[in-house]
Amino acid sequence: MANSKYEYVKSFEVEDEVMFPNLIVVRINGRNFTRFSQLHFLEKPFDEKALNLMNSCGVSVLQEYPDIVFAYGFSDEFSFVFKKTSKFYERRASKVLSIISSFFASAFVRKWCEFFPQTELKYPPSFHGKVITCATIEVLQAYLLWRQNICHVNNQYDQCFWRLVKRGMTEREAQDFLKGAEKHDKNDLLFEEFAVNYNTLDAMFRQGTCVTKAVVEDIVKYKENGSPIRRSRRKIITMHTKKLASRRFWNEQSVLVKELGGFVEEIDNVKAEYVRSFEFDTKLMPSTWVVVRIDGCHFHKFSEAHDFVKPNDERALNLMNWCAMAVLQEFHQDVVFAYGVSDEYSFILRRSSNLYQRRANEIISALVSFFTSMYVMKWKSFFLQKELNYPPSFDARAVCYPSTEILRDYLSWRQVDCHINNQYNSCFWKLVASGKSKKEAQHSLKGAQLQKKVEELGIDYNNLPIMFRQGSSVFWEEGDNLSIHQENGESNEGCRKVTLAHCDIIGSAFWLKHPSILDV
C-alpha cells in the first residue's frame, strides 16, 4: 500500500478472526436461483444436471483448498468444513467466506458448458454465504444433522409440489393444498396419487451429496519380480448417505476423524435456533457508508499464467470495469459508486441502504460471487485469443465509514495508491525490459523517489493512458430511459445510466459536478 495522509481510513476496518478451537464452516446457497432456474429452464422439482454441476463445483473447492476436508450439498447450497488446525487466510471470516463464494461461482460458470452444452448461460450465478463457528465437534454434528433434515423436508415438499403443478394446479393452489401436511401425508400423496415410492427416489435428491477426502492405496511402481509397491494418498470422493451425522458413517472416515474429531454420541433431533446461534455474522452499522472492496486472489500468478501485458493490461482493466458496471446495474438500489485499479474494486453502498438487512456476510458473498461470475462469463469478450486456464477468485471485506468526508478520504487513499503503484510498476517493468532481473529491479527501486526514477528512465508518464494513472470510476448519472432488471425478475423504467470515467476524485471538482452520488 502507498503511504499517504489518507491511510488513517484503515483504522475503520474491524477484525473478524475466528478464534481457535472453533471449527470453521462456510455455507453458500444460490442467490435468486428461482429466477436463475426459470431463465435456464431447469427441470422441476430437481434438475439432475444442475445438481451434478453443483457437486462438481464442490469437488473443485476441495481440490483447490487443502484445508477443506469435507463438504455437504443439496439443491443450490453447499457447506464446506475446514480442518480444526486450519490457518486459512489467518481465519478471517470475511476473507474465508468471500474466497470460497468467489471460487465456487467461478467454477460454476466455467463448468456450465460441461453439464449444459446446449444451453447458453444467460445470467451470472451468485451466492449468499455464511460462516458458522462450531465451538465443538458436537456442534458440527448438530449442524450436519440440521442441514440433512432440511434436505429431506425440502425434497419431500418439492416432489409433491411440482407434481401437483404439472397435473394442473397453479403454484398458489399447490401451496395451499400442502399447507400443514405432515411427512406421512406427503409420502401417501406421492404413492397414492403419483405411484411414487419416496424411498426409491434418487439418493442424491433425498439425502444430498457428501464430498470428502479418503485415504486410498495406489500402485506407484513395480518391483523387479513384478510385485506392486503401494503408497497411501488422499483422494476426493463423493457419496450419498442416509445418516450423515451418525457415529457409524463419520467415524469410518479416517481423514475426518483425524482432521476434525470423531462423533461420540448419536443425536436424533436438533433445534435450528441452537445451530444458528453459532453463525458468525455481523450487522453493519446503520446510517453509515458501506464500502465493499474486492481484491484478486493470487493475481500475480493469474496474470503470468494468462500473459497479461506489463505493467498494465488494458484488456484486463476493461474486463474489471465491465464487471463493476454490471454490479451497479444488478444492485442498482444500493450501490452508488465504484472505484477500481489493477485487480481491485471498491463498491460504495448508500448510507440508507438496507441490503440484506446490512448483514456483512450476505453483502460480501453476493457482490463478490456476482463480480466473479461476470468476470468468467465476459472473459472471451476481452481476451479473444486467450483461454481461461483456471478459475479466478477474489476476496472481499466490508467496512463502514461514518461520514461523507471520511468516505471521500477512503477513495482518495485508493487513488493515491493507484498513482504511486503505477509509477512503481512503470519503473519496475522498464528496468526488467532493459535486462535486469526482477530481484535487481526491486533492489534498484528500494527507497527511491519514484518521480525521479520515472524521469531517469525516460518514461513519458503524463502521456500514459489516464486509466493507468487515475484508475476507473463507475457511477450513475442522468440518461435516457432504460430498463432495469430487479431481483424478482420484473423491470422498471429509469432515467439513469451507469457511466465509466477516468478522472481525479481527490479534488472537489468531480463531486461538485455529480452531487447526487453522495447526496443520498
172: CB partners within 8 A, 6+ apart: none
What DSSP assignment string belongs to 147-181?
Answer: HHHHHHHHHHHHHHHHHHHHHT--HHHHHHHHTT-
- Quick count: other Cβ atoms within 10 Å of Cβ 261? 17
Distance between CA atoms of residues 499 and 336, nearest Å: 11
Domain count, the chain: 1
139: CB partners within 8 A, 6+ apart: 23, 275, 278
Tell me if 321 is assigned to some domain.
yes
Query: Of 127, 24, 128, which Cα lies nearest the Cα of 80?
Result: 24
Tell me if 131 is assigned to some domain.
no
6, pLDDT greater than 90: yes
Query: Of 16, 251, 275, 247, which Cα lies nearest the Cα of 136?
Result: 275
Q: What does DSSP assign to residue 123? A: S
What pLDDT, on a 0 to 100 scale, did the predictor assign at position 167? 94
Distance between CA atoms of residues 289 and 344, nearest Å: 19
pTM of the model as a whole: 0.92
Confidence of residue 452 (pLDDT cuts 50, 70, 90): confident
Tell me if 456 is assigned to some domain.
yes
What pLDDT, on a 0 to 100 scale, did the predictor assign at position 491? 46
What pLDDT, on a 0 to 100 scale, did the predictor assign at position 484? 46
Q: What is the pLDDT of residues 125-166, one digit of tens each?
A: 999 999 999 999 999 999 999 999 999 999 999 999 999 999
Distance between CA atoms of residues 320 and 418, nearest Å: 15
What pLDDT, on a 0 to 100 scale, did the predictor assign at position 489? 46
Distance between CA atoms of residues 489 and 430, nearest Å: 50
Tell me if 311 is assigned to some domain.
yes
Stretch 24-43: mean pLDDT, rounded? 95
Stretch 499-518: mean pLDDT, rounded? 94
What pLDDT, on a 0 to 100 scale, did the predictor assign at position 221? 78
Distance between CA atoms of residues 239 and 204, nearest Å: 9
Q: Which of 110-119, 404-413, 429-438 has the lowest mean pLDDT?
A: 429-438
Tell me if 411 is assigned to some domain.
yes
Q: What is the pLDDT of residues 180-222, one digit of tens each?
A: 999 999 999 999 999 999 999 999 999 999 999 988 777 777 8
Tell me if 243 is assigned to some domain.
no
What pLDDT, on a 0 to 100 scale, did the predictor assign at position 496? 82
Stretch 418-440: mean pLDDT, rounded? 92
CATH of the domain at 319: 3.30.70.3000
Tell me if 377 is assigned to some domain.
yes
Stretch 233-260: mean pLDDT, rounded? 94
Distance between CA atoms of residues 424 and 341, nearest Å: 14
The three cell numbers locating residue 398: 466490508
Confidence of residue 477 (pLDDT cuts 50, 70, 90): confident
Q: Which domain holds residue 443?
A: 289-480+491-517
Stretch 25-43: mean pLDDT, rounded? 95
103: CB partners within 8 A, 6+ apart: 60, 61, 64, 65, 372, 391, 393
Tell me if 116 is assigned to some domain.
no
Find cell 518391483 and name the residue: 223
Q: Which is more confident, 354 or 218?
A: 354
What pLDDT, on a 0 to 100 scale, did the predictor assign at position 480? 55
492, pLDDT greater than 80: no
Stretch 226-230: mean pLDDT, rounded? 78
Confidence of residue 520 (pLDDT cuts 50, 70, 90): low
User: Mean pLDDT across the chain, nearest whole number?
Assistant: 92
Distance between CA atoms of residues 455 and 445, nearest Å: 13
Percent of the chain residues topping a pLDDT of 90: 83
Q: Which is more confident, 207 or 234?
A: 207
Beta bridge partners of 499: 475
Query: Of 347, 314, 332, 289, which Cα lies nearest the Cα of 466?
Result: 314
Stretch 102-108: mean pLDDT, rounded? 98
Q: What is the pLDDT of residues 306-330, one digit of tens each?
A: 999 999 999 999 999 999 999 999 9
* Coil, helix or strand at residue 234: strand
